[in-house]
Amino acid sequence: MNMTVDGALAAAREKFFSGHVLPDGLVPAPILRSWQRCAEQGLDASAAIRTEAMTAAELRVLHEQNETLRLLSRSELVSLRAEAKHTDSVVILTDAKGMVLDTAGSAEFAGQAAAVALRPGVAWSETVTGTNAIGTAMAERRAIEVHGAEHFFEPHGILHCAAAPIFDPFGKLAGVLDMSGHASAQHTHAIGLVRLAVEQIEHRFFSRDFADMTVVRFHRFGDLLGSAREGILVFDGQKPVAGNRRALALLGLDRKLLRQTRREDIFESLASNQRHIQGRNGDQFFAQITEPVQAPLRAIGTLPRPAPKPPQKGPFMTSATRDDLARAIRLVNAEIPLLITGETGAGKEVFARHLHGQTVRAGRPFIAINCAALPESLIEAELFGYEPGAFTGARKTGAKGLVQQAEGGILFLDEIGDMPLTLQSRLLRVLQDKEVAPLGGGVPHKADFVPVCATNRDLKAMVEAGSFRADLYFRIAQFVIGLPSLAEMPERHVLVETLWAQLAPQHGPLPAAALDQLAAYRWPGNFRELAGRLRAIAALHDPGEPIAPAALPQAGEVLAEPEIKWNGDLGALTEDAMRRAVAAHKGNLSAAARALNIDRSTLYRRLVWKGQPN
């Protein structure tokens, strides 16, 4: 705030605390409401702040009571720590009563903050600490900034605080995330960073506890499915029992109205294979629907498996990929693990889901796990489940892990290269023994599933570097399928036409010039990028309307093949082609070797061993 604003705020404080009614606009409405609540409670703004810190034993109990919230929030505390250090601030997590649980960030400012009791074990609700971002965010149930003299107690005027409440899937306040720093410094992005972090935490709540219910994830834009910006609703039969704030905003509902509705009042129809749904208000959404996990219907090796489904319409495939799919079907039917490799966006999960539908395990669960997205502190419990009381914050009834939920079907482990080393050994034992022992010393359960793993990383290189276990690699990579990048596909015109027909059937065929331009672009984001661009083109144009040039990849974006000049040295020409292939595949030697149709070891020997990795 500048001197003029600070002066106006000081004058407003003087008027308010002298008993005068403030005209509208002198201070933000939420701040004025908070001042009024504090005054009504009899708080004295000029009095010394009386706070009682907890003993170490009491703080341990507080941490145990809020262990789940702390686990779900740990990634955000870590990610915001660097920003907090950069702005000489601290990040603070509190429980639902405003008790500070954890802090991270600038050690220097943390010492100054402790002088005003901004430390673990201290309450920052309005009733105790007056107007402040934590307590006022709780009272207002919204994100808020409190700057300098906007704080009720005068000693807190040294602070600039930005906080947002954290709500659980049932709309109950779970805690508050806050970023606090010097009032004299600029904190332009603090409130935005806190909001984004809270959205991630609230999204993570839905990764647990709803296996026996229908979970609907939806958004107007398909690319946002799976992100923290997707709407999520949970149904117990026809009754909505949980949902996030994004879902309520997308549907125009509030929490109270949601509880009074039924599933059929919200969506036209829902089925597990739907990818598009329509709200009763007419809005169209992309969707992912997860039905309740059913208990296994048979003991291992007793009743016959269901017959495979007839061939289904699947993703675009080259002749080579179709051959890979045919081999993969036979391998999965023989219970042989697969590893799918390919660049980001190349369609590894799409391929795996289509594969699942063609095997004898069709109709059984397909459980997809993104190993890079699960917090390291939770991944073991999520994968293998836990017994009642296995750790503080665990459900009283325990929980079945994702591995057990894949019973009879396929366990798809995406981004397997990002699994922590400590978990790799545990996964290896499960794959070897086909038994799952939940956390907390439970009895091991037999497990019947086929693992299909995927990665965009070079696992062989990671094995050589010691960051991926060799024994796990050979267990999961008994057969490797490499999906080509979109740039490697020779049939790009057909691919674009096929995908356009699937995504925008009402628009008719693409004009020849637009098709040529789309097919000429290399699409570094592969299918994900191409599908996103095609959806955008469809949204920006009415059927039959000419496609605007600005909607297409521009000429500068089309990556033409560079001219290769030969100086008579065949070896140099060969190595130049190798370097170009490695550069085109962003350093991925395996992908470059596939594009050149040579063995990876040849590429490694010619370039890396000679000290020329690029």
pLDDT on residue 4: 54
Length of the chain: 614
Domain membership of residue 176 (yes or no) is: yes
**∠ CA(527), CA(529), CA(535), 5° rounding?**
95
Q: How far is CA 614 from each of CA 473, 482, 493, 513, rounded to the nearest angstrom?
A: 26, 22, 30, 35
Q: Where are any strands of DSSP class E within 68-108?
A: 90-95, 100-105
- In 3D space, the residue among 178, 170, 96 whose CA is nearest the CA of residue 138 turns out to be 96
Q: Are 370 and 454 in contact (CB under 8 A)?
A: no
Say which residues have a Cβ less than 8 Å from residue 558's Cβ, sequence separation at least 6: 517, 520, 521, 522
CATH number of 151's domain: 3.30.450.40
- Transcribe 412-477 into DSSP letters: EEETGGGS-HHHHHHHHHHHHH-EE--BTTPPPEE---EEEEEESS-HHHHHHHTSS-HHHHHHH-
Mean pLDDT, residues 56-82:
84
- At position 317, the amino acid (one-letter code) is M
The residues, any chain, with a CB within 8 Å of residue 264's CB and separated by 6 or more, are: 238
Same structural domain, 109 and 152: yes
User: What pLDDT band is residue 35 in, cutting at 50, 70 and 90?
Assistant: very high
222 and 349 share one domain: no
pLDDT of residue 573: 62
Q: How far apart are CA 600 and CA 614, in angstroms?
A: 14
pLDDT at residue 300 above 50? no
Same domain, 231 and 283: yes
Among 267-271, 400-404, 529-533, 575-579, the range of highest mean pLDDT: 529-533
More confident residue, 384 or 248: 248
The answer to whether residue 42 is domain-embedded is: no
Q: How confident is the model at residue 306 (pLDDT cuts 50, 70, 90)?
A: very low
Average pLDDT over every residue of 503-516: 86
Q: Name the least confident of 2-6, 155-159, 601-605.
A: 2-6
**Residues 200, 85 share a domain:** yes
Task: Please write the tens of the pLDDT for every residue from 449-507.
Answer: 999 999 999 999 899 888 899 999 999 999 999 998 888 887 788 888 888 888 888 88
CATH number for position 408: 3.40.50.300
C-alpha span between 137 and 111 (Å, rounded):
24
Residues of the chain with pLDDT > 70: what percent?
Answer: 80
Whether residue 420 is contained in a domain is answered as: yes
Point out the domain boundary residue: 204, 239, 256.
204
Burial 162-174 (b: 16+ CB within 10 A, else e): bbbbbbbbebebb
Whether 565 has a pLDDT exceeding 50, the answer reads no
326 and 453 share one domain? yes
The answer to whether residue 594 is domain-embedded is: yes
Number of domains in the chain: 5
Taking the alpha carbons at both ends of the chain, their separation in whole angstroms is 50
Residue 433 lies in a domain: yes
Q: Are residues 274 and 330 in the same domain?
A: no
Average pLDDT, the chain: 81
Give the span between the Cα atoms of 433 and 445, in whole angstroms.
10
What pLDDT sits at residue 395?
A: 54
Most confident residue range from 222-231, 290-299, 397-406, 420-429: 222-231
| Residues 397, 327 share a domain | yes
In a domain? residue 396: yes
Higher pLDDT, 370 or 589: 370
At 114 the pLDDT is 60
What the block records as the tokens of 53 is: 């810190």
Residue 335 CA to residue 479 CA, distance in Å, equals 11
Going by pLDDT thresholds of 50, 70 and 90, the confidence category of residue 560 is very low
Q: What average pLDDT score do residues 118-139 get?
A: 90
CB 131 within 8 A of CB 152: yes
Say if residue 388's pLDDT is above 60: yes
**Same domain for 191 and 87?**
yes
- Confidence band of 116 (pLDDT split at 50, 70, 90): low
Greater pLDDT, 291 or 203: 203
Same domain, 576 and 553: no
Distance CA 594, CA 108 (A): 52
Instruction: DSSP for 185-244, please give it.
Output: S--TTHHHHHHHHHHHHHHHGGGSS-TTSEEEEEESSGGGTTSTTSEEEEEETTEEEEE-
Residue 432 to residue 425: CA distance in whole angstroms: 11
Structural domain for 492, as ranges: 486-557
One domain, residues 193 and 218: no
Cα separation of 591 and 456, whole Å?
9
- The reported pLDDT for the residue numbered 316 is 63
Q: Which of 178, 204, 230 is the last residue of a domain?
A: 204
Asked whether residue 15 is domain-assigned, the answer is no
- pLDDT tens digit string along 144-198? 999 988 999 988 888 899 999 999 999 999 999 999 998 888 787 889 999 999 9
| Predicted confidence (pLDDT) at residue 567 exceeds the cutoff of 60 | no
Cα 133 to its chain centre, rounded Å, is 27
**Which pLDDT score is estimated for 603?**
65
* pLDDT tens, residue by residue, 309-353: 443 445 666 666 788 888 999 999 988 999 999 988 888 988 999
Nearest residue to 448 (alpha-carbon basis) of 367, 515, 372 = 367
CATH code where residue 534 lies: 1.10.8
Question: How are strands ordered across the β-sheet holding 173-182?
Answer: 100-105, 90-95, 173-182, 159-167, 144-147
Q: How far is CA 411 from the centre of its chain?
A: 19
Ranked by mean pLDDT, the top range of 53-57, 334-338, 560-564 is: 334-338
Let me know whether 338 and 441 are in one domain: yes
Domain co-membership, 446 together with 533: no
Better-scored residue on pLDDT, 118 or 548: 548
**Domain contains 297:** no
CA 164 to CA 13: how far, in whole Å? 25
Closest CA to 234 of 212, 250, 252, 254: 212
CATH of the domain at 602: 1.10.10
pLDDT number for residue 111: 63
Beta-bridge mates of residue 1: none
Whether residue 296 is predicted with pLDDT greater than 50 in this model: the reply is no
In the predicted structure, residue 610 carries a pLDDT above the cut 50: no
